[in-house]
Structure 1
Amino acid sequence: MENEVVVSIGEESYTTQIQYGDLSLIADEPEELGGQNKGFAPTQLLLSSIGACKAITMRMYANRKEWKVNKIEVKVSSEVQKSEQQQTTYIKCNVFIDGELDADQKKRIYTIGEKCPVQKMLQNPIVVESNLIDTNI
């Protein structure tokens, strides 16, 4: 598959190798949860994906418009609220745009960031399908 990411874990708790083509990174859990703290925890990776996607989308737009943007920073956090019937995750993104821009330009860049592919994915229904592949056959 074109966009297939391969994740593997060996015997070391909970260090996980993530591969995409020639690229790789490590995910892990903090020491207080039994991990080695060698990489981002999975929830941090998800929040990172949203922040990175927003920042890249905003940068692409600013570049196309040839607007002078020195820095875009996105601070992303989450909070889970549980009820008897469901749990709701609130993801908060604080966006800071530094550059030679007026208020309307900053608002336009911000609005474009709200349409990044990862945010669109998470705001629409998601179906996760898992299959156990028997390697002993």
Structure 2
Amino acid sequence: MNYSMNENGFTGHLPFGDIQISGDEEYGFRPYQLLISSLAVCSGGVMRKVLDKMRMPAKDIQIEVTEVVRNDEEAGRVEKIHLHFTITGDIDEKKMARVMELTRKNCSMVQSVKDSIEIIESFEVRQT
């Protein structure tokens, strides 16, 4: 990975393609959006694998970021994120506490920030 400065921010040159990053969302993704996206999508991907291994494959997983708390006195530091998962499929809700535990434990992005950002996770199941 490498990043090069452009007129309004930086262009990240990644294996899949280029990504525009800027402090102004008119010109690219803001860094905090990428941080939150990494946490959400890593969690969703791990959750999908956990559900598959527990023989409860999800037909769909939607992730909504319902809250982001930033501390403006500390350069806009992200202090808290609430991720809400809506899982569609033939899911045993009694097993969801374990699914959530394994998801948190095995998501590398969540583990990377666990002592600096409070991450709250909630879920709802929609049976098919």
State how far apart, in whole Å, the 2-side matches of 1:8 and 1:112 are.
37
Q: Which residue of 2 aligns with 1:105?
A: 95
Q: Which residue of 2 aligns with 1:121?
A: 112
Q: TM-score, normalised by structure 1?
A: 0.68
When residues 107 and 59 of structure 1 are mapped into structure 2, their CA distance, relative to the original with a 3 A threshold, is same
Q: Is 1:24 aligned to residue 18 of structure 2?
A: yes
Instruction: Please say if residues 74 and 93 of structure 1, whose CA atoms lie closer than 8 Å, have aligned partners that are also in contact.
Output: yes
Q: TM-score, normalised by structure 2?
A: 0.72
Larger of the two Rg values belongs to structure:
1
Identity within the alignment, %: 21
Q: Which residue of 2 aligns with 1:13?
A: 8
Which structure 2 segments of 5+ residues have no match? 117-128
Q: Is 1:64 aligned to residue 53 of structure 2?
A: yes
Deviation string 1:38-89 (CA, Å, 9 cap, x unpaired) is: 43211000000000100000011112223131111222242124669xx671
- RMSD (CA atoms): 2.5
When residues 102 and 45 of structure 1 are mapped into structure 2, their CA distance, relative to the original with a 3 A threshold, is same
Q: Is 1:89 aligned to residue 79 of structure 2?
A: yes
Which structure 1 segments of 5+ residues have no match? 126-137
When residues 81 and 39 of structure 1 are mapped into structure 2, their CA distance, relative to the original with a 3 A threshold, is closer
Q: Which residue of 2 aligns with 1:133?
A: none
State how far apart, in whole Å, the 2-side matches of 1:44 and 1:88 are.
10
Number of residue pairs the alignment of both structures matches: 112
Instruction: Please say if residues 95 and 110 of structure 1, whose CA atoms lie closer than 8 Å, have aligned partners that are also in contact.
Output: no
